[in-house]
């Protein structure tokens, strides 16, 4: 049984008081909102809460809460107000909502281990899971710094969702980054890795690397030797395929009052659709959907008016200045693009290049292991593996040397040596799917778990791996052996 009160304390980090206090003593603390049903949450008719004690007293009633703390909140005529981003006092956690009843916890943890973003807390919901990434120290939000920490935090939150959505179906990309989420209780906590907390600086670096990796895959490159193709490439380019368009249309926190706001965003996105030969009807539907997800949406008539203006024929495409200001105001993305220079060249397709990038080779090897692993690993020589990819043994060794995902182990010596090639995920998936009915199957399962124990992982990863193994069929066979259970 998990200590729910301690989980509250770990998440909220003195943003609210530990004990109930008088109103005068409460001034140095913030407030959160709690709701006892989804209907209350959606209608903002929940309650404000200023102490862990009060929250825990209602642990069996509260269904949703705001894990990030506001400076002040008001409740008038049963409606709570004040929960806007510019009123945030501190950010304590990032939460990913997975809205897919068919998702398995084992699948989530395998992806999290592979991507090195293991959630601190996992809650089971009616439709899936909520993953909490808890910070070791709160990040304070301040108007004096032009909400810089808030913009960085939103970028981190977006990247967490994007990375997980690449392999897990049902990740909600559009829900409010710092709104309501499921509240931990005695029945919905399925995993709590207390040591798997993150520093804000650590997540900033991870987010930056993810952004750069994504850009490396889709970056536009200009090749001087092909200048004759400039015009043709320009005509082929569609603004709706650009990075900035995808970034902007996923941002649900745009509102009015900050110079470049909702109207400008919808107008700019509509111009990108117009430039990309998207029909007026399709664009209107897309903008209507985008507007629906905004925290403070416009009326449909306003959206319709803006789209009509963009499609009037007076304008050719979205302009660089508007795109730049919108991104810098709402997304924390440093604007850098060749998209307005009049010529474009996509990077060469891999089939047209002589050499592959290291990350591409690593992806190939991981994919091959996932498809062909037996008992969680490949048993073959490096020379044979090099032949699979039609590369030299030296190139393969270089790729494996740089890889953080692929592991190679030599068992035995001489002509009896066995080369095992595997990843943490391939081993874990084998353990998850294992059934033990014979001594041979038990021996194979134990060998796989021993390989897992040899992986060089941090304490958080070991906790996550242990959580996975405890949910498998072979757990009862391994119970009692501390080495095999990775304790």
Phi then psi for residue 25, to 5 deg, are -75, -15
What mean pLDDT, rounded, does the chain reach? 80
Tell me the pLDDT tens digit for each residue of 117-147: 889 999 999 999 999 999 999 999 988 888 8
Closest CA to 161 of 199, 131, 202, 205: 131
Architecture of the structural domain at 358-478:
Orthogonal Bundle (1.10)
Q: Is residue 259's pLDDT more than 60?
A: no
Q: Is residue 214's pLDDT more than 70?
A: no
Higher pLDDT, 22 or 93: 93
Instruction: Say if CB 200 and CB 135 are below 8 A apart.
Output: yes
Phi then psi for residue 120, to 5 deg, are -70, -40
Which CA distances in Å does 145 have to 103, 148, 152, 256? 40, 6, 12, 20
Q: Is residue 89's pLDDT more than 80?
A: yes
Q: Is the dihedral of CA 91, 92, 94, 100 positive or negative?
A: negative
Q: Is residue 93's pLDDT more than 80?
A: yes
Instruction: Express as a percent the part of the chain with pLDDT over 90.
Output: 29
Q: What is the DSSP letter of 340?
A: T
* The pLDDT value given to residue 62: 95
| Alpha-carbon span 183 to 181, nearest angstrom | 6
Which CA distances in Å does 49 have to 13, 29, 45, 53, 177? 14, 11, 13, 10, 20
* The pLDDT value given to residue 67: 97
Reading the block at residue 260, the tokens are: 């470049």
Closest CA to 253 of 155, 185, 350: 155
Radius of gyration over every alpha carbon of the chain, rounded to an integer in angstroms: 26
| Alpha-carbon span 135 to 209, nearest angstrom | 19
């Amino acid at each position: 049984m998990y200590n729910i009160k301690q989980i509250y304390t770990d998440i909220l980090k003195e943003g609210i008081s530990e004990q109930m206090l008088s109103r005068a003593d409460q001034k140095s603390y913030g407030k959160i909102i709690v709701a006892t049903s989804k209907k209350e949450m959606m209608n903002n008719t929940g309650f404000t809460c200023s102490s862990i004690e009060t929250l825990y007293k209602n642990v069996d009633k509260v269904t949703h809460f705001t894990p990030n703390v506001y400076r002040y909140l008001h409740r008038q005529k049963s409606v709570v107000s004040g929960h806007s981003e510019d009123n945030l006092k501190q950010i304590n956690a990032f939460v990913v909502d997975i809205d897919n009843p068919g998702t398995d916890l084992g699948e989530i943890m395998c992806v999290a281990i592979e991507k090195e973003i293991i959630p601190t807390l996992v809650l089971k919901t009616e439709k899936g899971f909520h993953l909490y990434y808890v910070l070791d120290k709160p990040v304070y939000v301040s108007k004096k710094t032009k909400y810089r920490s808030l913009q960085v935090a939103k970028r981190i939150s977006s990247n967490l969702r994007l990375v997980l959505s690449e392999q897990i179906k049902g990740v909600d990309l559009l829900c409010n980054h710092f709104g309501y989420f499921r509240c931990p209780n005695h029945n919905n906590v399925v995993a709590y890795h207390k040591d798997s907390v993150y520093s804000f600086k650590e997540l900033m670096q991870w987010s930056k690397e993810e952004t750069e990796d994504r850009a490396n895959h889709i970056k536009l490159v200009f090749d001087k030797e092909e200048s004759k193709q400039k015009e043709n490439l320009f005509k082929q380019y569609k603004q709706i395929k650009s990075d900035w368009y995808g970034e902007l249309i996923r941002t649900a926190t745009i509102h009015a009052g900050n110079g470049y706001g909702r109207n400008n965003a919808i107008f700019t996105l509509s111009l990108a659709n117009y430039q990309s030969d998207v029909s007026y009807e399709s664009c209107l539907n897309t903008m209507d959907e985008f507007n629906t997800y905004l925290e403070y949406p416009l009326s449909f008539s306003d959206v319709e008016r803006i789209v009509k203006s963009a499609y009037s024929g007076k304008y050719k495409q979205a302009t660089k200045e508007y795109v730049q200001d919108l991104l810098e105001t709402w997304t924390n993305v440093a604007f850098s693009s060749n998209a307005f220079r009049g010529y474009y060249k996509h990077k060469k397709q891999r089939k047209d290049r002589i050499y592959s990038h290291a990350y591409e080779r690593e992806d190939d090897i991981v994919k091959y292991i996932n498809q062909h692993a037996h008992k969680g690993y490949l048993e073959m020589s490096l020379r044979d593996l090099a032949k699979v990819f039609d590369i030299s043994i030296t190139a393969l060794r270089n790729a494996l040397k740089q890889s953080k995902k692929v592991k190679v182990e030599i068992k035995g010596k001489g002509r009896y040596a066995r080369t095992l090639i595997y990843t943490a995920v391939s081993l874990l998936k084998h353990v998850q799917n294992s059934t033990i009915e014979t001594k041979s199957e038990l021996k194979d399962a134990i060998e796989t778990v021993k390989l897992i124990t040899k992986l060089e992982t941090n304490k958080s990863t070991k906790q996550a791996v242990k959580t996975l193994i405890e949910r498998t069929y072979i757990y009862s066979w391994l119970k009692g052996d501390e080495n095999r259970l990775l304790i």
